[in-house]
Amino acid sequence: MKATNDLALKEWAVVIKAMLKGRQILLLRKGGIEEDAFQLRSDEFWLFPTYEHQSLHRIRPEFHDWLTEKEQAHQHSKVTLEAYGVVSTAFRVPHADALQALTDEHIYNEEHIQQRLRYKPELPLYVLAVRIYRAPTPHVIDYHPDYAGCRSWVPLKQALPTDEAVAVLSDEAFAGKLQRLKTALVLY
């Protein structure tokens, strides 16, 4: 793992919460509105919480209580970065059935998955298998206008240390989840 990193990947705050709880290791990526297509710019990054597009109607009902009213009405001034991700592997999703087989591995509902597949249908949908590490003390940074917009990657104004970050899942637990992803995505 890098000692410091100044690159962040935008993701819904509720998904970051799921990853920090060890509930989910996968991220769905197709690219933001401001991008032609998703590109994996780095296999290590901070997860930058976003609030604009997350909503109750995009996650399964059993996770609705993870998305608080405060998060739904979030105002920018400070950003808390506490999840650091290292990509283990990336998969191109062949079709919806592959993701249907992974329902127990993520918090997204079927409607959201179908929407992601329909959005820019000429572009592939990727699943990133990400090992998450928690910073011992969350980094609270000032929000900057450069962080705005519907894009995947955010260059941070300063590199943040990753030392002492601890894996959320044990090696064994992560390997088990990764194997389930590989099995489901390779079978289809």
Rounded distance, CA 114 to CA 185, Å?
A: 16
Amino acid 58: pLDDT:
82
Q: Are 5 and 41 in contact, with CB atoms under 8 Å apart?
A: no
Amino acid 42: pLDDT:
94
Amino acid 74: pLDDT:
56
Residue spans of the chain under pLDDT 50: 188
Amino acid 188: pLDDT:
45
Amino acid 5: pLDDT:
98
Question: What's the pTM value of the predicted model, to 2 decimals?
Answer: 0.90
Q: What is the pLDDT of residues 158-184, one digit of tens each?
A: 999 999 999 999 999 999 999 999 988
Q: What is the pLDDT of residues 81-108, one digit of tens each?
A: 999 999 999 988 877 777 878 888 998 8
